[in-house]
Amino acid sequence: MNEHAPLVLVVDDEPAQRAMLTYNLESEGYRTVCAGDGEEALLAVSEQGPDIILLDWMLPRLSGIEVCRQLKSRNATRAIPVIMVSARTEEEDRVRGLETGADDYVVKPYSMNELLARLRANLRRARPAQVGQVLEFEGIVLDGETHKVTRDGKLLKLGPTEFRLLSTFMEKPSRVWSREQLLDRVWGRDIYVDTRTVDVHIGRLRKALGQHGGEDPIRTVRGAGYALG
């Protein structure tokens, strides 16, 4: 199994469902981890740091909707895409699902094809911290597994948002990202934050990158956004 395959957290209370899903996901090359109820799910999120979450609506102990709400209210987990899975087709549920911040919504019965398509779409959108991958740019080394960043061998101290911001930049150095795109990838979908907030965090990232000296590697592209190098 590829070390860098995306890790999917499957949350469902029915063991048969979980087995079916993990089987299919793994034969598509994903890595998986399971949880049987809401509390297990939250635990798994903080311990495993999945790249994406398949979340059943009906769960013992903590409902799927509540799990989602909690995930989306924390900075550390906000950016992880959540796909809600539900047997209920009522439109009201879809709305509630999306309003708690779910990134997508799938109604049972769904085909594996549909699920995989949505999975791919959501992963494509929001995968800044390529799990396990080590990115490098002009002496800056970002390790997605240990969450450590060094510059010219010296360890840098940076907060979670700065880390995600930097890893977005490093995924494609010298590509210009608009503030909106950065909000989408670093902060997450449907989050209402002023675009100027990006400026502030860029400033913080610059300070963090320069804490042991060195040129500022972040380029301001007036009227367009920011880029690395």
Partner DNA sequence: TGGATGTGTCATAAAACATTGACAAAAACG
Partner DNA sequence: CGTTTTTGTCAATGTTTTATGACACATCCA
Contact 165, 227 (CB under 8 A): no
Residue 52: strand, helix, or coil: strand
Instruction: Estimate the crossing angle of helix 112-125 against helix 15-27, to 10 degrees.
Output: 70
Binding site partner of 145, from DNA, a copy of itself, none, Cβ cut-off 5-8 A by kind: a copy of itself
- The Cα–Cα gap between 85 and 178 comes to 32
Query: What type of residue sits at position 194?
Result: D
Taking CB under 7 A as the criterion, which residues in 55-74 touch DNA? 73-74
- Please, what is the minimum distance in Å from the beta carbon of residue 196 to a copy of itself? 15
- Specify the residue for token string 């608009």: 178
Task: State CA 23 to chain mean position distance.
Answer: 23
**Which range in 30-38, 55-63, 78-86, 119-127 contacts a copy of itself by CB under 8 A?**
119-127
- Please, what is the minimum distance in Å from the beta carbon of residue 164 to a copy of itself? 9
Does the protein bind DNA through residue 124 (CB under 7 A)? no
Phi, psi (rounded to 5 degrees) for 101: 105, 5
- The Cα–Cα gap between 185 and 81 comes to 10
Closer CB to a copy of itself, residue 70 or residue 178?
Answer: 178
Q: Which of 51, 189, 202, 205 binds a copy of itself (CB under 8 A)?
A: 189
Helices of type H across 11-63:
15-27, 38-48
**Which range in 34-42, 103-111, 116-124, 159-167 contacts DNA by CB under 7 A?**
159-167
Contact 52, 124 (CB under 8 A): no
- Please, what is the minimum distance in Å from the beta carbon of residue 107 to a copy of itself? 7
Binding map of DNA across residues 183-202, x = CB under 7 A, - = no contact = ----x---xxxx-xx-xxxx
- Specify the residue for token string 């699920």: 115
Closer CB to DNA, residue 125 or residue 201?
Answer: 201
- Please, what is the minimum distance in Å from the beta carbon of residue 162 to DNA? 6
* Interacting residues toward DNA by CB under 7 A: 73-76, 157, 159-162, 187, 191-194, 196-197, 199-204, 206-207, 220-225
